[in-house]
Amino acid sequence: MKRHQKLMGIVAIGGAIALAMSGCAAAGNGGGDDGGSGEGQTVTGADYNPQPRENLAEGGELRIPVSNIAEQLNYFHGDGDARVTQIGTWFRPQVLLMDPDGTVKPNPAYLDDYSFGVEDGKTVLHFKVNEKAVWNDGTPIDVTAFKATWEAQNGENEAYVPNATDGWKEIESVEAGENDHDVIVTFKSEFAWPEMVYSQLLHPAVNTPELFNTAFLGDWHPEWGAGPYTVSDYDKTGGVVTLTPNPKWWGEAPLLDKVEFIQMEPTAAVNALRNDEVDMAETGSAELLAQVEGLEGVKTYKGQATANAIFTLNAANPVLEDLNVRKAIFEGINLEEVKQIVFNGLDYTEDPAGSLTLFSFQPDYFNALEKAGRKDGDTDGANKLLDEAGWVAGDDGIREKDGQRLSLVFPVHSDTETARARSLAVQAQLKAIGVEVEVDQRPSADFAEDYNTQNGDLFFLNFTSSDPFGAAWFCQLYCSDSGLNLSGTGTPEIDKMIHDELETISDPVEQTKKAMEMEADIFSKTWGIIPVLNGPEIWTVKEGLANLTPEPYVGLDLFGITPVENVGYEK
């Protein structure tokens, strides 16, 4: 798939499980952590307890639950996920930082200077790398890393399996200027989104497709990392990644003595918080919030999630090959009812999530899904489409055609009651139009593998966005070779339309407007993926924990990326 950098992440909803990708990432199936409808307040902005370093104490430990840790631990790889990106950010270069509103700025630990502009009709990025910056194996961080990152991501060598070619494929050259710490990145022409590339870097030793694709399988390779922390232990069986201060770090000292990421189901994470076994837990449903009510020594934060919960269909299943069958299924699902279940008890409401390109709070947003012609919960319309497609109801009400039942497997990678209620509601909604749905409860740890291999027919997951440059990652969402949208509904015609009519626009505002128009058209031509809701990001954490979620794909700080060395506890 194509993504951009801050990555999009994939996460299982209700966990949350995550697949990390550039620009956008997918989340996964799960309980209710996002969006809602009905009466309630609207959660806006960031809520992450930002504090200057001088207000924070040195020392302490932080234990963070994550719903899964994928086998592929290279967050530049197409099979990486948002949780891999989340963990990796703590011990790999944070070259560019970002304010909650999406304003990009250089990280002074890595860059002495950062600028971009147009030179001779081409967009040019200039990086001056801090000469103290070094990889953990002693290799200088210089132009070689910038080249290796570009070569792995630009799509020219098809043996690489990158998480994003967006942006990278528009680069013409990466060269040294006055010396190897002076990096000049030249695009092929004027480019609308130069800030989308180089949030992170790949170690230059990862210089072949084989290494890129396989070296990180089950191995974090801390020697290829850099930053204030390093991986001191990885208990793969137990699902625990332990980070400690990096003796080779040249910047401001990390505040924490130890950081652990611990794999566990969402309900287990809340129980662990209650038992002082973790220091934060996602509490994005009424049932989880109820479990922390009255708990001493914690505080609950609610921020606007920069994520889209989505439904996606697997068009490789023969019963889903027909466009009108897929449209009927999506019309048969009542999104408002799903949202009411997900946000029951959260006192939350939001505008319709009708786009994967923009959020409703961004300029030029409109409901592209509605414009594409979808009617929510339109049972009559869905039945008509299935009748016309030749699917006939059998004695039990389930439709059949040519000896095949119209039957779908719906994996659910969460153990919350909200996830169960949501999946059963979808099962009942689709039964009303003659579609059989087998709800298959699975461990959250299986989400990344199941989604990447499309081990299921109907998925409910999160696409989380790393930055506000929605149109920049349009191909990541809708091109036929996208590793994020695995519905199998992309076409060469759509690819050509994106490349010729969208990516040639150099003005970001005009490109965004065109992307929104194009998105409605693509929905109507594919019906492989639809947005459902955005929602709030809700976490309950130990009192005094500050500068929460500095990594991509965790939404308490909107699009923010802050230095991990500044996470700590108030004095």
Classify 29-45+306-460+469-536 by CATH class: alpha beta
- Return left, alpha or beta for 465; rule: phi > 0 is left, psi -120 to 50 is alpha, else beta: beta
Q: What is the DSSP letter of 443?
A: -
- Of 480, 482, 526, 473, whose CA–CA distance to 503 is shortest? 473
Q: Is residue 96 pLDDT above 60, yes or no? A: yes
Question: How many C-beta atoms surround the C-beta of residue 136 within 10 A?
Answer: 21
Cα distances (Å, whole numbers) of residue 409 to 2, 124, 206, 458, 463:
27, 48, 38, 6, 21
Q: pLDDT tens digits for 203-215?
A: 999 999 999 999 9
Q: pLDDT tens digits for 389-431?
A: 999 999 999 999 999 999 999 999 988 899 999 999 999 999 9
Mean of the per-residue pLDDT values of the chain: 91
Q: Domain segments of the chain: what residues?
A: 29-45+306-460+469-536, 98-213
Query: For residue 172, what are its two tokens?
Result: 């013409």
Would you state the pLDDT for residue 4? 32
Q: What superfamily in CATH does domain 98-213 come from?
A: Dipeptide-binding Protein; Domain 1 (3.90.76.10)
Q: Is residue 57 pLDDT above 50, yes or no? A: yes
Q: What is the DSSP letter of 498?
A: I
Q: pLDDT tens digits for 543-564?
A: 999 999 888 666 799 999 999 9
Ramachandran angles phi, psi of 484, nearest 5°: -95, -50
Q: pLDDT tens digits for 421-465?
A: 999 999 999 999 999 999 999 998 888 889 889 999 999 998 888
Q: Is residue 338 pLDDT above 90, yes or no? A: yes
**3-class SS of residue 415:** coil
Q: pLDDT tens digits for 122-174?
A: 999 999 999 999 999 999 999 999 999 999 999 999 999 998 889 999 999 99
pTM: 0.85
Question: How many C-beta atoms surround the C-beta of residue 405 within 10 A?
Answer: 16
- Of 555, 81, 568, whose CA–CA distance to 279 is shortest? 568
Q: What is the DSSP letter of 253?
A: P
